[in-house]
């Protein structure tokens, strides 16, 4: 399982550094695979042949000159299309930004380039990262590589699909309420939503600024940890970026869980209607216990309000963030008889139905007379949810929940019922509202061959603990060596 396209980022770098292969050859092979499979999967919105080959050639030049190579030298990486890439179209899967070419790189993109990574393309997503199935993209559905009639999850469905199907070993996504964790669970891979403030949001197109974080996606916990190490760190250009040293996430994968108190959010697990998800999560918990962790039951009494709270706060912030797309400064412009008609026509035609729904919901929640009843109250409950975690972390060091209530649902299954779709995020929203780091990693397969994920949640800025525990789960019940059969 270590041959193309399933080699790890570590192997790829090693083979390039030792001279066994070149970065250009590696890149050509992955570009050819993307060319072949993207028409089936639609995970890439744009494959940057020229840019990728130029970055690879630069790595080869550095190697030939005996210069020190970065931690991702020559490793192909896919980037979600809501992260700005200088000179390369960044659409947010929206018609309103269909032709937008940013004049600058996001912080995380700069970090990737500095590490020697080869950015092979921009991945599909739900428009402006609003969605849980990738069906809200203006540029077509992404398919789940485990079963192409199923959703890959959202909103980072393109990044998750590309990684799971072996089009790249690593990808970046963004997570506001579950958008790296839920697609990772659906596609059988690992993703980390870092602590709010851990990774700079500079150059990430804003959806809900008090929640948005960039997150690494990979087929193994070790690779996700390495990618987090590359992109984490303080950045003055994001006022909410935390001035804290990044952790040794990769090293933490070898630490084990001996003596760790793992909090089991009992009612979330016992309440699962899907018995396969319940059994897989229980099996992962048993594996943690076997390796020396102690399980303790904990409760998050206010977590059941998370869907209501999130779907007030996130749309409210989106309605103000998306006000900048007015047909004047960026992207699409639909000229009309006067300025206000130009705004209305541009926004009416440029945004898809879910984005328009969120803008309307959010504008309503923020409007005079309703602000206290909706937005302010939601903020108060958000504080109660954070307090639930503070209390829980008095008796444990780490929390475990399912990532999603079910494995991947069918494409089209939930598109006519937004509330059903929103409920797909029931377990990923609470840690997002509390700003906590959370990780999803596979813990089994359903009888019909669909991956199941477990979510681990740690105290603020303790991503290392997530990596240590996730590695134990991966060793016991991960899918690293069993890629989706149709693409193996
Ligand atoms: N699915 C959630 C939503 O639709 C979360 C999306 C995200 O994390 N970007 O808002």
DSSP string across 382-421: HHHHHHHHHHHHHH-SEEEEESSSSSPPBTTSSTT-HHHH
**Residue 179 CB less than 6 A away from ligand 1:** yes
Dihedral (CA of 253, 257, 260, 262) sign: positive
| 3-state secondary structure (DSSP) of residue 224 | helix
Mutate to test the pocket of ligand 1, among 131, 159, 181, 319 (most ligand atoms within 8 A of CB): 131
**Residue 7 CB less than 6 A away from ligand 1:** no
**Residue 397 CB less than 6 A away from ligand 1:** no
Residue of 172, 181, 144 lying closest to 43 (CA atoms): 144
Residue of the nearest CA to atom 4 in ligand 1? Answer: 131
Is 290 assigned a catalytic role?
A: no
Q: What is the pLDDT of residue 38?
A: 98
Report field, pTM of the whole predicted structure over 0.75: yes
Residue 409 contacts residue 448 (beta carbons within 8 Å): no
**Residue 177 CB less than 6 A away from ligand 1:** yes
Note if the bond before 155 is cis, omega within 30 degrees. yes
Q: How far is the CA of 34 from the centre of ligand 1 (A)?
A: 26
Q: What is the pLDDT of residue 93?
A: 98
Residue of 81, 72, 48 lying closest to 158 (CA atoms): 81
**Residue 354 CB less than 6 A away from ligand 1:** no
Q: What is the pLDDT of residue 1?
A: 52
Determine the distance from the C-alpha atom of residue 75 to the mean position of all C-alpha atoms in its chain, rounded to a whole number.
19
Residue 87 neighbours by CB under 8 Å, 6+ apart: 51, 101, 102, 103
Structural domains for the chain? 9-259+438-487 (3.90.1300.10)
According to DSSP, residue 67 is labeled P
Residues in the chain: 488
Structure tokens at 161: 């699909």
User: Distance between CA atoms of 295 and 285, rounded to whole angstroms?
Assistant: 8
Rg (CA), the chain: 21
Residue of the nearest CA to atom 10 in ligand 1? Answer: 130
Q: How far is the CA of 66 from the centre of ligand 1 (A)?
A: 44
Q: What is the pLDDT of residue 458?
A: 98
| 3-state secondary structure (DSSP) of residue 169 | coil
From 42, 137, 159, 179, active-site residue = 179
Residue of 242, 247, 244 lying closest to 228 (CA atoms): 247
Residue of the nearest CA to atom 5 in ligand 1? Answer: 177
Q: What is the pLDDT of residue 401?
A: 98
Q: Name residues of the chain where pLDDT drops below 50.
A: none
Q: What is the pLDDT of residue 368?
A: 86
Is 80 assigned a catalytic role?
A: yes
From 42, 80, 225, 468, active-site residue = 80
Q: How far is the CA of 467 from the centre of ligand 1 (A)?
A: 23
């Amino acid at each position: 399982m270590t041959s193309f396209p399933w080699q790890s980022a570590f192997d790829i770098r090693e083979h390039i550094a030792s001279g066994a292969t070149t970065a250009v050859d590696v890149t050509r092979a992955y570009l050819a695979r993307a060319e072949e499979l993207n028409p089936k999967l639609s995970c890439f919105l744009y494959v940057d042949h020229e840019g990728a080959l130029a970055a690879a050639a630069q790595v080869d030049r550095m190697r030939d000159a005996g210069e020190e190579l970065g931690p991702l030298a020559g490793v192909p990486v896919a980037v979600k299309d809501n992260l700005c890439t200088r000179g390369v179209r960044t659409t947010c899967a929206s018609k309103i930004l269909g032709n937008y070419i940013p004049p600058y790189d996001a912080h995380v993109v700069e970090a990737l380039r500095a590490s020697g990574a080869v950015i092979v393309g921009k991945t599909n997503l739900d428009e402006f990262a609003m969605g849980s199935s990738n069906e809200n993209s203006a540029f077509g559905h992404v398919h789940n590589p485990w079963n192409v009639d199923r959703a890959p999850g959202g909103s980072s469905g393109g990044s998750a699909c590309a990684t799971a199907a072996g089009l790249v070993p690593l990808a970046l996504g963004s997570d506001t309420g579950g958008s790296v964790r839920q697609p990772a669970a659906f596609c059988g891979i690992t993703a980390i939503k870092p602590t709010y403030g851990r990774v700079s949001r500079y150059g990430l197109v804003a959806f809900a600024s008090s929640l948005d974080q960039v997150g690494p996606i990979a087929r193994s916990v070790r690779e996700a940890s390495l990618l987090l190490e590359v992109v984490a760190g303080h950045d003055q250009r994001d006022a909410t970026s935390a001035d804290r040293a990044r952790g040794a996430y990769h090293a933490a994968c070898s630490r084990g869980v001996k003596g760790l108190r793992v909090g089991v959010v009992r009612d979330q697990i016992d309440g699962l209607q899907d018995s396969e998800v319940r059994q897989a999560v229980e099996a992962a918990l048993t594996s943690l216990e076997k390796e020396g962790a102690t399980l303790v039951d904990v409760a998050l009494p206010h977590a059941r309000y998370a869907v209501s709270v999130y779907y007030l706060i996130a749309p409210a912030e989106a309605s103000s963030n998306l006000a900048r797309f007015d047909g004047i400064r960026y992207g699409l412009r639909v000229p009309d008889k006067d300025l206000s008609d130009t705004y209305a026509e541009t926004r009416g035609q440029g945004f898809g139905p879910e984005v328009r729904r969120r803008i309307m919901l959010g504008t309503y929640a923020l409007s005079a007379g309703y602000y206290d009843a909706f937005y302010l109250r939601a903020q108060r409950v958000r504080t109660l949810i954070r307090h639930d975690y503070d209390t829980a972390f008095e008796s444990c060091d780490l929390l475990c929940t399912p990532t999603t209530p079910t494995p991947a649902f069918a494409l089209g299954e939930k598109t006519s019922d937004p509330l059903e779709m929103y409920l797909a995020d029931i377990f990923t929203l609470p840690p997002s509202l509390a700003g906590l780091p959370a990780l999803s990693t596979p813990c089994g397969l359903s009888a019909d061959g669909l991956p199941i994920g477990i979510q681990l949640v740690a105290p603020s800025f303790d991503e290392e603990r997530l990596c240590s525990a996730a590695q134990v789960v991966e060793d016991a019940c991960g899918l690293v060596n069993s890629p989706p059969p149709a693409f193996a």
